[in-house]
Structure 1
């Protein structure tokens, strides 16, 4: 999933605390009817299908992971719009099943050299400093599998590379169980 909403690193982040239309707090996940209810929403896909994606889905569902990051190039190279505060998407697991409704709460576009420790913590994947976060992300962004997806796989990655930082919340859980079950 590529994700961020503001186009300037000096813009104020929009954190919404407005109540949901049904009066429920936006911070309390709600159950919803099923996959068809949000069929027109984009998918929120973290990593490639497999154990890493399912681990991240678990971190999102338990509230540990509330942010993500993508290179601005991810959006510009394929012509995708930047995320915006209030955007909704359906979190999917490795079996492409809708697990939860995510709502974007903040988007910032910053220089790679300006990513903060707080972003590392909010991503919930174990990095606690910007330096750790950068090593982890650069390893992925420099991988051949990742770079071959771009029209110019030799793009530079340095302090001035723009990164989209997106924060989100789980607004609703699907009623389906996200854990895999063994068949008898």
Structure 2
């Protein structure tokens, strides 16, 4: 994977943070997949953006990927955004998430485990939160711009 520059962008501190999952093994796996180029897509809950008071991602926007140790490790740029019902997530998106899922059903089961976890329910402040086919999700595509590990 080619990146634009090995030197960190000058405005790194002012860039939004991209935090995949919660700190721990899942985040470590997702960040590694971003850095090796196998993860070029992600899925979020519209409800999570609303709960955090954040705007949905926009094509062209850049953010700093944060690892489990709260260190900036990469800069990514959004290349596509779609909001769809959970039941409409397609295999192409699933594959581009880089988690080696071979079917939408397998991908969905993994995401439901995450979204229904105590940690996620606590973050949403809803102990009963659950997704269904109609839950709106954000399908985001991105590209790796800078691997900040190379800038050390």
Shift of 1:156: 4.3
Distance 2:30 2:151 in 1: 18
2:123 counterpart SS class = coil
Shift of 1:166: 0.4
Query: Which of the pair has more CA radius of gyration?
Result: 1
Q: Which one of 145, 170, 177 corresponds to residue 144 of structure 2?
A: 170
Q: Which one of 19, 24, 38 corresponds to residue 50 of structure 1?
A: 24
Kindly tell me the number of residue pairs found equivalent between the two proteins. 151
Q: Which one of 97, 107, 110 corresponds to residue 123 of structure 1?
A: 97
Q: Which one of 100, 104, 111 corresponds to residue 137 of structure 1?
A: 111
Q: Is the 8 A contact 1:68 1:167 kept in 2?
A: yes
Distance 1:57 1:91 in 2: 8
**What do residues 5-53 of structure 1 show as CA deviations (whole Å, max 9, x unaligned)?**
xxxxxxxxxxxxxxxxxxxxxx831224337541100111112222322
Q: Gapped runs of 5+ residues in structure 1?
A: 1-26, 178-184
Listed as ranges, the matches of 1:46-125 within 5 Å are: 46-125=20-99
Which residue in the other structure is 1:41 paired with?
15
Q: Let me know the Cα RMSD of the aligned residues.
A: 1.8
Distance 1:46 1:114 in 2: 22
Higher-helix-fraction structure = 2
**Deviation above 6 Å: which 4+ runs of structure 1?**
none
Q: Is the 8 A contact 2:8 2:146 kept in 1?
A: no
Moved more, 100-109 or 48-57: 48-57
